[in-house]
């Protein structure tokens, strides 16, 4: 724990610019207030199937990132004339927009009997991260970055010390358990709730829940690869440690629509994980933390609903 705390303190000390950090915090606060106070982003339609409907997502994720990047430029922290940076940013913006917009996982569910479709669609939603997150990132790395980065944006255990992260898990898991008692939490979690599929198959809910939770973990792993791997480790070639701040703004936008406390946690946690990824050049710790928290929240929600007799049979 001391090792991670030292990394965080040193990063903040070396990166600290009160104007930059203050304006970045103000910008993220404006985005959060616009979303939770005025529902400013509800118009982004995740069900639109026309390919051009990906464009609102480009703005949804691009604007939060671009404003912070502009602040970095204004403070003399980044050289925006580098062609490689703009190529990487364009690909990165396409990837996150594609992943959030992509509606065709529902087509897979249409081939299954009606009672199975909710479960199949839920599984397909998480499996699409392989197509929309991992595949284009891997292709870009193979085409442009493998000579500069042998780890594919931090997919490595080299020099990784799991101890401090396990200690963090021991601190954060009780907080997740506390959150499970909040009504807004139980409205959001678990992300898949057993229903018709289990009745149709004549099986216990665990036969559908466990496969779903496994692919749910895939999705979190690939999200970590994108935000802490591609946006921080990958862009550090041009942005250095400044790659963390714009990533946090985009990461906050990813959580809009989730419980308010979860979004605030993502801002703080996203910054901390970004710092750790930048210093270690590994996303292993972030994946471990993410999966531990995600599955703890899912398990806690199942227990709560089970006690109420509303989910697990």
pLDDT of residue 152: 96
Q: What is the pLDDT of residue 47?
A: 57
Report DSSP letters for the chain, one per residue.
-HHHHHHHHHHHHHH--HHHHHHHHHHHHHHHHHHHHH-TTTT--TT--SGGGGHHHHHHHHHHHHHHHHHHHHTT---TT-HHHHHHHHHHHHHHHHHHH--THHHHHTTS-GGGHHHHHHHHHHHHHIIIIIHHHHHHIIIIITTT-TTTTT---TT--HHHHHHHHHHHHHHHHHHTTSHHHHHH-SSS---HHHHHHT--THHHHHHHHHHHHHHHHHHHIIIIIIIIIITHHHHGGGGHHHHHHHHHHHTBTB-HHHHHHHHHHHHHHHHHHHHHS--HHHHHHHHHHHHHHHHHHHHHHHHHTSS--
**Structure confidence at residue 261 (pLDDT):** 84
Structural domain includes residue 34: yes
Is residue 63 included in any domain, yes or no? yes
Residue ranges, the chain, pLDDT below 50: none
pLDDT at 62: 97
Number of domains, the chain? 1
* Assigned domain for 204 exists: yes
Is 129 part of a structural domain of the chain?
A: yes
* Residue 111 C-beta-side C-alpha neighbours within 13 Å: 5
Cβ atoms of residues 277 and 236 within 8 Å: no
pLDDT for residue 4: 82
Report the pLDDT value the prediction gives residue 168, as an integer from 0 to 100.
84
256 phi/psi in degrees, rounded to 5: -60, 135
Predicted confidence at residue 186, as pLDDT, reads 80
**pLDDT at residue 129 in the model:** 86
pTM over 0.85: yes
Q: Is 313 part of a structural domain of the chain?
A: no
Q: Which pLDDT belongs to residue 52? A: 74
Query: In which domain, by residue range, is 291 found?
Result: 2-308
What lies within 8 Å, CB to CB, of 166 at 6+ separation is: 288
**Residue 84: inside a domain, yes or no?**
yes
pLDDT at 133: 93
Centre a 10 Å sphere on the Cβ of residue 48 and count the other Cβ atoms it contains: 15
């Amino acid at each position: 724990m001391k090792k991670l705390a030292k990394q965080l303190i040193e990063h903040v000390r070396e990166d600290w610019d009160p104007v930059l950090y203050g304006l970045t915090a103000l910008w993220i606060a404006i985005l959060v207030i616009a979303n939770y106070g005025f529902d400013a982003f509800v118009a982004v339609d995740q069900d639109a199937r026309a390919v051009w409907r990906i464009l609102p997502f480009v703005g949804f994720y691009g604007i939060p990132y671009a404003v912070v990047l502009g602040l970095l430029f204004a403070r003399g922290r980044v050289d925006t004339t580098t062609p490689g940076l703009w190529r990487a940013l364009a690909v990165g913006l396409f990837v996150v927009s594609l992943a959030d917009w992509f509606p065709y996982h529902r087509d897979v569910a249409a081939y299954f009997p009606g009672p199975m479709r909710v479960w199949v669609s839920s599984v397909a939603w998480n499996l699409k991260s392989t197509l929309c997150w991992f595949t284009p990132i891997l292709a870009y790395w193979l085409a442009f970055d493998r000579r500069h980065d042998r780890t594919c944006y931090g997919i490595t255990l080299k020099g990784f010390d799991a101890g401090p992260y396990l200690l963090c898990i021991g601190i954060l898991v009780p907080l997740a358990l506390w959150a499970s008692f909040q009504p807004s939490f139980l409205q959001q979690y678990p992300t898949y709730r057993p229903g018709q599929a289990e009745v149709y198959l004549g099986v216990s809910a665990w036969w559908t829940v466990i496969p779903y939770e496994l692919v749910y973990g895939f999705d979190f792993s690939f999200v970590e690869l994108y935000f802490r791997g591609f946006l921080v480790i990958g862009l550090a070639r041009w942005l250095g440690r400044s790659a963390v701040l714009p990533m946090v703004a985009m990461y906050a936008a990813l959580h809009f629509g989730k419980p308010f406390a979860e979004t605030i946690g993502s801002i703080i946690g996203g910054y901390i994980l970004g710092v750790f990824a930048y210093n270690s050049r590994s996303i292993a710790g972030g994946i471990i933390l993410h999966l531990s928290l995600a599955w703890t929240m899912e398990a806690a929600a199942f227990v709560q609903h089970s006690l109420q007799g509303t989910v697990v049979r």
